């Protein structure tokens, strides 16, 4: 099969699976409890000492605000102006039924949290004032960012696929020339090496999906005001579950034999080794989930901690010293964004390769 035709088919299947993934993780993300930022506006009748304490810079809240999920998309604050994008709240209760409203209803003119229509927003979670169970399927910041990344994937790769379809023998240009080497890299260095020549083709759409999904969202998370999607454990959990399903549903008899009855091992040792192997089946996706979540979250925390030093010490000289370190960490984060996508895809392909490997005497 010509390489460009092969790539074109992978692009389309990649986008379809990516869109399905985005909606599969929608409900899980929307219900995740997180910590939101508190208002820094003080009441006029509060004593001066308490007002100073309330307006004092708190780096912990800044960092949690950036890495956590929210019902609004806050970009920045200048004085009394809050650049915030309200997101739709979609809640259901047995007494009131399904209700859809803007998250801006939970804020007054002083940007303080207030009840609305029998609901309150506390620590990023919507509760009913009467204590009734609330089913929250709102479009939160992470869900909105997830949908944006899905639109980007659709727009970019469908456009590239059409160019390959219209001009299959023409040299790639523009985005084609940018992404084709990466596709070939995933195919040759990851899929072929770990899965093998015989089986790698049917797993290429899935491997390309997770690679570009993670890479795109890692890059979007580095934009000021961006959402921390891949640093959200709900997202990495869904990625890990899909990897677990794909790996084990394609497992051959040799794969399961080595788990439950390893050849050449004395029967009495199977009592010890078989449970260890079964635990290993679940530990593989667990390690995928924690590795991606921890690395991306740690990178964001380090960057924000460096910037916070300027406001903590309120020292211009320190600011001049911190800026080069922050720029250096931003460059490192750009590299890590690609490396984490590569590591996740490589490990998944390795797990798939061990599952589909045929027995050799």
User: Would you state the pLDDT for residue 79?
Assistant: 62
Does residue 161 lie within any of the structural domains? yes
| 259 and 348 assigned to the same domain | yes
Looking at the fold, whether 136 and 146 belong to one and the same domain comes out as: no
The residue ranking higher by pLDDT, 139 or 64, is 139
Residue-number span of the structural domain to which 80 is assigned: 27-140
**170 and 111 co-located in one domain:** no
Domains in the chain, number: 2
C-alpha–C-alpha distance, residues 112 and 38, integer Å = 8
326 and 214 in a common domain: yes
pLDDT at 316: 67
Instruction: Let me know whether 171 and 223 are in one domain.
Output: yes
User: Same structural domain for residues 198 and 299?
Assistant: yes
* Residues forming a β-bridge with 98: 92
61 and 175 in a common domain = no
Burial profile 127-155: b = 16 or more Cβ within 10 angstroms, e = fewer: bbeeeeebebbbbbbbbbbbebbbebbee
Instruction: Tell me, yes or no, whether 317 lies in a domain.
Output: yes
The strand pairing partners of 78, in sequence order, are 81
Query: Which of residues 140, 169, 191 is at a domain's end?
Result: 140
Asked if 187 and 230 sit in the same domain, the reply is yes
Last residue of a domain, one of 80, 110, 140: 140
pLDDT at 81: 66
Q: Is residue 236 part of a domain?
A: yes
Query: Tokens at residue 61, please?
Result: 């809240």
The Cα 217–Cα 337 span in angstroms is 9
| Final residue in a domain of this structure, among 123, 140, 157 | 140
- Do 161 and 211 lie in one domain? The reply is yes
State whether 250 and 317 are in the same domain.
yes
Residue 152: per-residue pLDDT: 93
- pLDDT tens, position by position, 299-327: 888 877 877 777 777 766 776 777 787 78
Q: Are residues 348 and 203 in the same domain?
A: yes
- Do 168 and 218 have their domain in common? yes
Longest alpha-carbon distance in the chain? 83
pLDDT above 50 (res 154): yes
Q: Is the pLDDT of residue 238 over 60?
A: yes
Return the H-helix or E-strand segment holding 85: strand 81-86
205 pLDDT higher than 70? yes
């Amino acid at each position: 099969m010509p390489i460009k035709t092969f790539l074109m088919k992978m692009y389309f299947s990649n986008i379809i699976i990516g869109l399905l993934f985005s909606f599969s993780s929608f409900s899980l993300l929307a219900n995740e409890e997180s910590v939101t930022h508190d208002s820094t506006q003080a009441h006029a009748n509060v004593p001066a000492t308490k007002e100073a304490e309330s307006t004092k810079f708190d780096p912990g809240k800044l960092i949690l605000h950036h890495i956590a999920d929210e019902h609004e998309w806050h970009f920045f604050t200048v004085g009394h102006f809050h650049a915030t994008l309200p997101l739709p709240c979609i809640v259901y209760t047995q007494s009131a039924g399904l209700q859809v409203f803007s998250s801006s209803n939970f804020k007054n003119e002083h940007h303080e949290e207030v009840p609305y229509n029998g609901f309150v927003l506390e620590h990023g979670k919507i509760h009913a004032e009467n204590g009734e169970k609330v089913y929250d399927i709102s479009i939160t910041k992470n869900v909105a960012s997830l949908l944006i990344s899905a639109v980007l994937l659709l727009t970019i790769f469908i456009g590239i696929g059409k160019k390959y379809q219209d001009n299959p023998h023409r040299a790639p240009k523009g985005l084609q020339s940018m992404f084709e080497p990466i596709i070939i890299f995933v195919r040759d260095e990851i899929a072929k090496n770990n899965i093998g020549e015989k089986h790698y083709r049917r797993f290429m759409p899935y491997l390309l999906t997770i690679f570009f999904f993670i890479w795109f969202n890692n890059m979007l998370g580095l934009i000021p005001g961006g959402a921390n999607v891949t640093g959200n454990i709900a997202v990495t959990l869904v990625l890990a579950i899909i990897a677990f399903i794909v790996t084990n549903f394609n497992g051959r008899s040799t794969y399961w034999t080595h788990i439950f009855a390893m050849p050449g091992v004395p029967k009495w040792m199977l009592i010890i080794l078989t449970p260890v192997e079964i635990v290993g089946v679940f530990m593989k996706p667990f390690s995928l989930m924690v590795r991606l979540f921890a690395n991306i979250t740690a990178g964001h925390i380090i960057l924000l901690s460096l910037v916070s030093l300027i406001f903590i010490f309120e020292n211009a000289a320190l600011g001049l010293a911190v800026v080069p370190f922050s720029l250096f960490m931003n460059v490192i984060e750009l590299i890590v964004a690609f490396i984490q996508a590569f590591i996740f895809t490589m490990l998944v392909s390795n797990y798939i390769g061990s599952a589909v490997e045929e027995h050799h005497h």
